[in-house]
Amino acid sequence: MRKFMTIGISFILLGFFIVSCQPNTTTEGNITSITTVLTTTLSDTTTTTSLPTEELVWDYLGEIPPTDQVIRFDPNGFVANNSWFFHGAPVFSPDGKEVYISKYIRNVDQIEVWYSSIVDGSWNTLQKLVVEGLSGQLNCPVFVAEDDGLYLMNYYHSMFRIYHVTRTDHGWGNPVVLPIKIPSGKQIGWNYSIAANKNIYFTVEPYSDGNRIYRSVYSNGVYATPEPISVLNGGVYGAVSPKIAYDESFIFFESTRTDGYGYHDIYVSFKDGEGNFLEPINLGNQINSPEEEFAANLSVDGKYFFFTTSRSGDIGYNPYWIKLDEIECFQNR
């Protein structure tokens, strides 16, 4: 999602955000022990879009997973309020024991990453992520594999950079900037996505020549010169916030194309038998609405589709989810 922030970052604020910006005096809330947990196992899934990982028992913060309906992802302590709203869908670690979210903090006009972990069988209180060696704003946490650390977008001194960080005795640290060759006169945007083979998909700013999605192919520790994907050139309508499937068989993005249902809609482009992306498909009114939908994401087991929007009863933006194979264009694939 592109948003025009006062510090010069593109950040669109919709009318319903004109609410009190005073910090909420209540705590973020403890995520308590789950007495009734509906779990799912990675061994049950037949999808090829999940991360390679061992069999796990999943607890999505105690939430009962959806089936054929879109429902709000609504665990205690994870509901947007007058102090903050979601700047992306939740991201679970490959072992299922941590969850990371990007928050837009209203009163300071900044984006932060917060996280929660399972401790003694319970999810603990959300904590702000601090990375040793990094300053500035953090956004878009991405996991590629369990032993491969964490990727983050960092905004500092008017520059966007993607960093890879590893675990330390105190959390995350040892930041290494990804050496991606950005086209001259541009810089990478807020959102990006990484496939299992570490190919990276992103957009660039400014958008003077139209919104388009770039891909940089990874090989032997080197990222190739990024190339735009022609069918994903959104032009004046935009093609932003890419989310690539782990096996690169399809990609989600958001756009304001004229066949949409509202402001930003979410689209998907599947690959053909020769590995080329096909003409994008609007996910339809099963997902999209007159409101803004953005930040598509997939659960690590490949079963669930997450996205972020604002609907009746919401304060700011919140994540919603549905079983991936219940989305119409994914059926019979």
Whether residue 24 has pLDDT greater than 50: no
Whether residue 224 has pLDDT greater than 90: yes
Q: Where are the domains of the chain?
A: 3-24+34-330
Total-model pTM: 0.82
Half-sphere CA count of 30, side-chain side, radius 13 A: 6
Contact present, 242 and 202 (Cβ < 8 Å): yes
Average pLDDT across the chain, whole number: 82
Give residue-wise pLDDT tens across range 228-252. Answer: 998 887 666 778 899 999 999 999 9
| More reliable by pLDDT, 44 or 321 | 321
How large is the average pLDDT for residues 157-174?
93
Whether residue 17 has pLDDT greater than 50: no
Least confident window among 25-29, 181-185, 276-280: 25-29
In three-state secondary structure terms, 174 is: strand
Least confident window among 51-60, 139-148, 178-187, 311-320: 51-60
How large is the average pLDDT for residues 97-104?
95
In three-state secondary structure terms, 42 is: helix
- 287: enclosing H helix or E strand: none
Whether residue 57 has pLDDT greater than 60: yes
Query: What is the pLDDT, as a whole number, of residue 110?
Result: 95
How large is the average pLDDT for residues 62-72?
92
Q: Which residues of 302-315 are buried (b: 16+ CB within 10 A; e: fewer)?
A: bbbbbbbbbeeebb
Query: What is the pLDDT, as a whole number, of residue 246?
Result: 94
Query: What is the pLDDT, as a whole number, of residue 8?
Result: 39
**Nearest residue to 281 (alpha-carbon basis) of 271, 297, 270:** 270
> Strand 84-86 and strand 57-58: pairing?
unpaired
Q: Which CATH superfamily is domain 3-24+34-330 in?
A: TolB, C-terminal domain (2.120.10.30)
Contact present, 54 and 274 (Cβ < 8 Å): no
Residue with tokens 């209540």: 26
Give residue-wise pLDDT tens across range 305-321. Answer: 999 999 888 888 999 99
Contact present, 293 and 278 (Cβ < 8 Å): no
How far is 222 from 220, CA to CA, in rounded Å?
6
DSSP code of 82?
S
Angle CA 187–142–246, to nearest 5: 105
Q: Which residues of 13-23 are buried (b: 16+ CB within 10 A; e: fewer)?
A: eeeebeeeeee
Angle CA 23–118–246, to nearest 5: 95
- Give percent of the chain with pLDDT exceeding 70: 81
328 backbone dihedrals φ, ψ, rounded to 5°: -50, -45
**Nearest residue to 184 (alpha-carbon basis) of 225, 150, 221, 129:** 225
How large is the average pLDDT for residues 167-172?
92
Query: What is the pLDDT, as a whole number, of residue 55?
Result: 52
Q: Which residues contact 134 (CB under 8 A, 6 or more apart)?
A: 152, 154, 156, 163, 165, 175
Whether residue 73 has pLDDT greater than 90: yes
How large is the average pLDDT for residues 133-159?
94
Whether residue 43 has pLDDT greater than 50: no
Residue with tokens 């809330």: 29
Give residue-wise pLDDT tens across range 186-204. Answer: 888 888 999 999 999 998 8
Task: Give 168's strand partners.
Answer: 171
Q: How confident is the model at residue 20 (pLDDT cuts 50, 70, 90)?
A: very low
Angle CA 143–293–129, to nearest 5: 35
Q: Which residues contact 102 (CB under 8 A, 6 or more apart)?
A: 86, 87, 88, 111, 112, 113, 138, 139, 140, 141
